[in-house]
């Protein structure tokens, strides 16, 4: 039996297909919500969780009558720009899922090898970070990831 995609997965794929090879798109949240027959907050959720700097996107929204959401592929001119964007996007807390997205971006941009990515994933995994408190674990993971990214920046 084939794995069924969640509505969030379907919306993400749709937005990525609309984006295609373009560097950015502007959408109206309500139009996309109507298209998929979902509430506008579902569109917000997809954009907030799937189109992050860690995944290579910058999102800008303008509210109001003529409001829009602009999704832009981060211009990745060279490795240092990628690393800077990722470092700035991490913040103080980092989930394992978001850390995996950062590592995937590094791999896709050919800044690390698959083996290096696997090693980084091991370093930041829940199994490695045996910290019971989720907040402390995410805070420590963010710190470790920033240190790794800074080290890669100086190697570039």
pLDDT confidence of residue 12: 93
What tokens does 141 get? 């993971």
Mean pLDDT score, 77-85: 71
Query: Domain 7-73 is of which CATH architecture?
Result: 2-Layer Sandwich (3.30)
- Is the Cα dihedral 6, 11, 15, 17 positive or negative? positive
Query: Domain 79-155 classified CATH 3.90.226.10?
Result: no
Taking the domains of the chain in order of start, what are their residue ranges?
7-73, 79-155
Mean pLDDT score, 107-129: 92
For residue 135, what is the DSSP state? H
pLDDT confidence of residue 151: 83
Kindly indicate the confidence band of residue 2, based on its pLDDT and cuts at 50, 70 and 90.
Answer: very low
């Amino acid at each position: 039996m084939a794995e069924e995609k969640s509505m969030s997965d379907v919306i993400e794929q749709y937005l990525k297909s609309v984006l295609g090879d373009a560097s950015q798109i502007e959408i109206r949240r309500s139009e996309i919500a109507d298209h998929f027959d979902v509430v506008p907050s579902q569109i917000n959720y997809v954009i907030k969780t799937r189109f992050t700097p860690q995944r290579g996107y910058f999102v800008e929204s303008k509210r109001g009558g003529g409001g829009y959401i602009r999704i832009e592929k981060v211009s990745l001119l060279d490795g240092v720009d990628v690393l800077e964007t990722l470092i700035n996007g991490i913040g103080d807390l980092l989930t394992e899922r978001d850390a995996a997205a950062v590592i995937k971006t590094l791999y896709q941009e050919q800044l690390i090898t698959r083996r290096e990515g696997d090693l980084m994933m091991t370093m930041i995994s829940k199994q490695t970070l045996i910290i019971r408190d989720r907040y402390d674990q995410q805070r420590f993971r963010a710190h470790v990831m920033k240190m790794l990214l800074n080290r890669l920046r100086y190697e570039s």
